[in-house]
A and B are shown apart, each in its own frame.
Chain A
Amino acid sequence: MDRPVYDAPIQRGVSRLITTCGALFISALLTACGPTEVTFHTADNYPKRLSDWGLVSLDGQQLTVSDQALVYDVNTALFSDYALKLRTLYLPEGTQADYDATDTFALPVGSIISKTFIYPKTQTGALLTSSDWNGDPSAIQTNDFELMETRLMVKQASGWDALPYVWKGDDAYLSLTGTIRPMTLADGSPLNYLVPSKNQCASCHATNHTTGELLPIGIKARHLDRSTKIYNKNQLDHWAERGWLTHVSGGHTPNAIWGDTSQTLDHQARSYLDINCGHCHNAQGAADTSGLLLDYEQHPASALGRCKPPIAAGRGSGGHLYSIVPGQAEHSILSFRLATNDPGMMMPELGRSLVHEEGLEIINQWINSMDGQCL
């Protein structure tokens, strides 16, 4: 494809040094620059450094987001070992996303989505698994937060590409092979934090496993329809107001906002399963082999797991007979696989090494609230 017109060179106070061992380093002496301008790169020219995209970068200790992008949040999020996530969306000037009531919005070529994974940390650098962060990037300084990785999804004419960048020092570096970052939690326990490889990104983002096409998962009406504290506006309204979203209608039902106990238990549980499981466990997904369908669609109770025997779960069955035994979370494979952190048995297969206790609790309550029994 032709290089888009918005691919303008960026002006920043960055000097580059080539060290004796051949690696590129950026000097830490960034000049006092304002929010950066986004630069789009084509697939044959993906930069090694995240800062070259101009979307998310460090200004000294301060994480900054280009003012050409919007920060967004989702109603109930994928659990990622208690990491906090800063999500941003960038659309090229003058372009729009196209609303869809069910599927991922169609985004124009040149769009960039970023998700930065961070943890609040103690003075000794141990990671904290809880936070009162309100989602505002201006609160993120490297004194108080460990930057783990930033994942980009980049819309080329040929489709979406997924690019994992791993933070080290004052920038993040492209790592198509991913890595495990061994970390320590504040309680002293180890955390083997997995940065996915490019192909592991596809393990979740090829939501239609038959076509293999990568798609953003969170950019759907049911995930986005909420207000955020940063802008104090409903995100869909905000995007439409900004001219970023066309054909908005009310054809969707918003997923439950995580932690909103005023929602029904069923809605909270289905919302949780949708974002944590539905990318593979849908009728076209990688896990359609199991016959267990957990995306937020109308499915028969058996496809949702009720009294459904496993197909090829192996020891992931945990010795249990059915995905869901009504009223008995302790005998349900669904609960078992969320409650283990053995990679050979746990679900989701990727993206966590810890148990999401609060998510597990919702699912257990949901199963325990069900009536009836398996024959």
Chain B
Amino acid sequence: MKKIILALATTVVLGCAEPLPFEETFRAALESAQPGDVIEIPEGTFAFDRSLIMNTDGVTIRGQGMDKSVLSFKNQLAGAEGLSVSASDFTIEDLAIEDAIGDALKVNEGNNIVIRRIRTEWTNGPDVSNGAYGIYPVQTTNVLIEDNVAIAASDAGIYVGQSEQIIVRGNRAEYNVAGIEVENSVGADVYNNTAVANTGGILVFNMPGIPKRGYGTRVFDNDVNDNNTANFAAPGTAVSGVPAGSGIMVNSNDQVEIFNNRISGNDTANILISSYFSANYAGQREVAAEFDPYPELISIYDNDMSDSGKAPGMDYLVAVRDAVFGPDGAFPDIIWDGVIDPNKPADREVICVDNGDAQLLNIDAINEFANPSLEMAAYQCSVEKLSAIELPAG
């Protein structure tokens, strides 16, 4: 592979032979990248007033560490992302992207994507005016997102959308609305992550209106604690309906396995399962006929859960809690809206729970919360286990 020496990398700007600032040589290297290039970023903080964009397959962007090589977009004037990439065989590692005006790192369409040891952060902390997504691969295949840190995104710190064959591991997400979100994606393993102090820790969602229906996600061996930050998303966004205090949340998605996680201190519930109808996105919405709004084939087992549900993050949930457990009570570890597809085949399971003495409360949203139920017998079932995701070596 060719290594670019950035000080000599560009001849595209005509002018006097003064050394160009790194910002310009870096931009030129991205613009003129060739397959095989390794574009290195030295230590330092580098400021950009326009988004950076890279469209060449087979490129690696490498800094000196997520606290050493910082791309700052604090004074951004143009472009909707910090770094926008449309390319395959792309690796980015060991740098930080701070204060992007929109998404920090977006990878739109591509195969074999590695995002590793990147920090995306809005340095002012949680704020509705922060950019939406920290790390944002969309319409990608074979995606590895590991050992990153995502802080204070006004939507999701790490968001994988409309993708296939995904591993999200070893990341830390904090003070985002959604810590880690997998949406409309097929085949994801989400493990060994820490999601703490977000509004919702780890989300597995499906949204209508886009061609790809998501299913098949395993969420395991994660630490999902104290995700009680007040929801600071812009109204109207999908995550604006996530109650503060959500540990792991599944909405309208199928074949989701939640196991071996350590989940505690999430004040709405450690695990929430809901249909599109009661996600409280924005009241009732039209749902395209082809959209499946019901979560099904959800399996929850062997999680270590405690200290759930003592301060639900939505008024209607507080009312249910008060009605069932009293104002000093708490939701059990798992809550479910209880909305079932009326045309569901009888042998198709909705939720199966095998998690010691953890309890599931069906809040009976379909009947205006008339008969919440803690009857656990209905969840003694099993769903065929999903296979581990394996990415091609490389």
Contact = CB atoms under 8 A, between A and B. Distances in A.
Greatest chain A CB density within 10 A among B31, B129, B131 is at B31
B17 interface: yes
Interface in A340-364: 342-346, 349-350, 353
Interface stretch (B46-54, B266-274, B347-355, B385-393): B46-54
A35 B109 CA distance: 44
Nearest to A214: B55
A315 B129 contact: yes
A313 interface: yes
A199 B53 CA distance: 6
Given A310-B236, A318-B236, A343-B102, A23 B15 contact: yes
A312 interface: yes
Contacts of B76: 343
A158 interface: no
B167 interface: no
A333 B236 contact: yes
Contact of A309 (B16, B101, B281): B281
A192 interface: yes
Identify whether the interface residues of B are mostly helix, strand, loop, or mixed.
Answer: loop
B108 to A, nearest CB: 6
6 contacts: A202-B55, A209-B109, A309-B238, A312-B155, A319-B234, A374-B285
A315 B132 contact: yes
A227 B283 CA distance: 50
Contacts of A5: none
B50 A312 contact: no
Contacts of B108: 209, 286, 289
A194 interface: yes
A189 B100 CA distance: 25
B24 interface: yes
A174 B13 CA distance: 7
Contacts of B155: 312, 314
B210 A317 contact: no
A346 B101 CA distance: 11
Greatest chain B CB density within 10 A among A173, A177, A194, A345 is at A177
A320 interface: yes
Interface string A298-315: 000011000111111111
Contacts of A289: 108, 138-139, 161-162, 210
B298 to A, nearest CB: 23
Contacts of A307: 285-286
A353 B209 CA distance: 29
Given A180-B49, A321-B282, A343-B76, A311 B101 contact: no
Contacts, number: 175
Contact of B235 (A176, A203, A319): A319
A333 B24 CA distance: 35
Contacts of B54: 199
Contact of B237 (A175, A177, A314): A314
A30 interface: no
Interface in B191-247: 207-211, 233-238
Contact of B286 (A174, A178, A192, A302): A302
Contact of B14 (A23, A212, A318): A23
B284 interface: yes
Given A311-B210, A311-B238, 16 more contacts: A173-B14, A177-B12, A197-B50, A199-B55, A203-B84, A209-B109, A310-B236, A314-B154, A315-B129, A315-B154, A320-B236, A344-B80, A344-B100, A345-B102, A349-B79, A375-B286
Contacts of A11: none
A121 to B, nearest CB: 22
A23 B16 CA distance: 6
A374 B287 CA distance: 11
A177 B13 contact: yes
Contacts of A178: 50
B55 A315 contact: no
A198 B102 CA distance: 21
Contact of B78 (A23, A48, A194): A194
Contacts of A344: 80, 100-102, 131-132
Nearest to A209: B109
B32 interface: yes
A202 B84 CA distance: 12
A343 B31 contact: no
